[in-house]
Amino acid sequence: MELDNFIASLSDDLQPLCDLASRLRAGGIAITDDGIALSHRPHVAPQAYAMRLYVPLSTATATRYQKIHSVRLPPHYLRILEKLNGAHIFEFSLFGIPPSMANDPPLLNRSAAQPYDVATANQSWRLEYSVPREWFHFGGGPYSFDEHVGYFLDEDGTIYCSRKNGEKLRSWDSFRNFLSDEVGRAEAKYPEHEAFMAEAIRKRTPKPWWKRWLTR
């Protein structure tokens, strides 16, 4: 995969991700057959990156996936997946099609980084939210240390940000504006997550023998 071409392809509705990827690439890059990871954050976890973007699958794969899982991807979101097969950005996620879940039988491959499964989101995870049944669940983002919000599309293509209790926090008519607002919010909140994870790792790491001896 050619890095510059992939980043440049994130145009129009995905332009905020193109801009962010261009800014984060100086922090370290990992490239695989399935996508790219940008801005290495080893103090969070050894393989943690601020941004993971997954290359789109073929139209035939998307069609087979929908048939296997009896799920219909709305045209609004299918157009997104034609350019980007999901993403993890700070604590913000766009769901996609894990390649192994497009096989028959579908199997989840936990040995490789991949997007969260959009079919599972709409058959299971969406039940945690008090939203209309016809809404399509396509992503999630940070709200507090113990709660994430869900992102949904209605039949007209309007995007909603909802808490699990049904509270609608915001709505957008533009996917580009949605990404700009919510990815920006996730980036602003990420230092809290980094500090929390770094402290958790510090507490799990055994002290050197000489420090243990001095604190007797």
Contact 73, 167 (CB under 8 A): no
Q: Which two tokens stand for residue 185?
A: 């919010």
Helix (H, G, I), strand (E, B) or coil at 96: strand
41-82 residue pLDDT tens: 887 788 889 999 999 989 999 999 999 999 999 999 999 999
Helix (H, G, I), strand (E, B) or coil at 12: helix
174-183 residue pLDDT tens: 999 999 999 9
Contact 104, 68 (CB under 8 A): yes
Query: Structure pTM?
Result: 0.87
Q: What is the pLDDT of residue 195?
A: 76
Residues 138-149, mean pLDDT to the nearest whole number: 92
